């Protein structure tokens, strides 16, 4: 690692020591931050896996229910029901804090289920199908919210890791090498000064 291109003076030595101290403290703080973020990320990834499992289970029930609905009600009746069903979904930005870092995600408020169609000409399977689709929609909105945080958290982990690597592989080694270089030059100068003083002292004695 190449040292910094600075003059070997006492003032520069103090400056390099200060830089090294700040860099070492920064490295420890960033490494601690990275570990916290990684733990939080792994926890969210686990939640995503559980949600994916729940979604798969609901889909496994919802699609057969839709097929039964098509057989019993017919495509025309399902189209009429679909046009009669109308829900308003409220989407808002939600702020969350993970590891002391604020993140923005979406929060979807699902409305209460209502009966928009007549019971005449429909079957119990119609209600069951709508229930399953409503449940699926609820899970998908949860997934969208968590995935947004996971993506942004992963980017923050990546950015923090780059900073940790820069300190560990470049800035700290460079500061250490510069410090050693300046110290060695100053020590050599000190030895030369002592030698000159001794020589002058001997000459004066004679």
Give tens-digit pLDDT for 160-185.
Answer: 999 999 999 999 999 999 999 999 98
CA dist list (Å): 87 to 76, 82, 90, 137: 21, 11, 10, 12
Give tens-digit pLDDT for 7-66.
Answer: 888 898 999 999 999 999 999 999 998 999 999 999 999 999 999 999 999 999 888 888
CB atoms within 10 A of CB 32: 11
CA dihedral 131, 136, 139, 144 (to 10 degrees): -140
Q: Quote the longest CA-to-CA distance of the chain.
A: 128
Structure tokens at 142: 């949860």
CB atoms within 10 A of CB 167: 19
pTM, rounded to two decimals: 0.71
- Inter-residue contact 128 to 122 (CB < 8 Å): no
With tokens 């007549």, the residue in question is: 118
Calculate Rg over the CA atoms of the chain. 34
């Amino acid at each position: 690692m190449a040292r910094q291109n600075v003059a070997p003076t006492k003032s520069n030595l103090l400056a390099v020591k200060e830089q090294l101290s700040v860099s070492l403290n920064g490295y420890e703080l960033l490494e601690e931050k990275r570990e916290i973020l990684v733990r939080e990320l792994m926890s969210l990834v686990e939640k995503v896996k559980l949600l994916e499992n729940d979604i798969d289970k609901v889909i496994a029930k919802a699609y057969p229910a839709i097929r039964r609905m098509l057989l019993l009600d017919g495509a025309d009746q399902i189209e009429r029901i679909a046009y009669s069903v109308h829900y308003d979904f409220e989407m808002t930005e939600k702020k969350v804090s993970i590891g002391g870092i604020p993140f923005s995600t979406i929060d979807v408020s699902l409305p209460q289920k209502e009966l928009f169609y007549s019971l005449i000409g429909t079957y119990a399977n119609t209600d069951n199908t709508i229930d399953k689709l409503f449940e699926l929609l609820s899970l998908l909105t949860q997934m969208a919210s968590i995935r947004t945080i996971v993506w942004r958290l992963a980017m923050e982990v990546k950015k923090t890791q780059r900073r940790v690597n820069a300190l560990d592989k470049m800035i700290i080694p460079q500061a250490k090498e510069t410090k050693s270089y300046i110290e060695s030059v100053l020590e050599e100068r000190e030895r030369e000064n002592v030698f000159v003083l001794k020589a002058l002292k001997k000459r004066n004695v004679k």
